[in-house]
């Protein structure tokens, strides 16, 4: 099976797989594919919002974050969306953990 590059199609396919999955590992794999596609879609939409003129304050407000919080959370996602690449295996494109 060839994976679609369109994250909306991948989300739809993962939801379909989740719906028909018979065992816990099949459901887990479908959930993983759903999360990965949703993160990709989110990163692309953040990049599109920025290109359309949305400020980090506006993006942060959408997530209940400050401007700086939004920038930190989506730093990796922004880089990957610009490069058009997926995160390396074992790495998430999602939130970046704040230093402790």
Q: Each residue of 39-62: pLDDT tens digit? A: 999 999 999 999 999 999 999 999
The domain ranges of the chain are 7-83
The pLDDT of residue 76: 73
The pLDDT of residue 5: 79
The pLDDT of residue 89: 45
The pLDDT of residue 82: 66
**Which bin fits 53, alpha (ψ -120 to 50), beta or left (φ > 0)?**
left
| Sites in the chain below the pLDDT cut of 70 | 1-4, 77-78, 80-100
């Amino acid at each position: 099976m060839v994976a679609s590059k369109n994250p909306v199609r991948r989300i739809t396919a993962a939801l379909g797989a989740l719906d028909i999955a018979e065992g816990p590992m099949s459901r887990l794999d479908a959930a993983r594919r759903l999360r990965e596609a949703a993160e990709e879609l989110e990163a692309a939409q953040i990049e599109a919002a920025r290109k359309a003129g949305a400020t980090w304050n506006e993006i942060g407000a959408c997530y209940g974050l400050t401007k700086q919080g939004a920038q930190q959370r989506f730093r990796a996602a922004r880089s990957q969306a610009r490069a058009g690449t997926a995160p390396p295996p074992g790495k998430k494109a999602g939130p970046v953990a704040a230093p402790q």
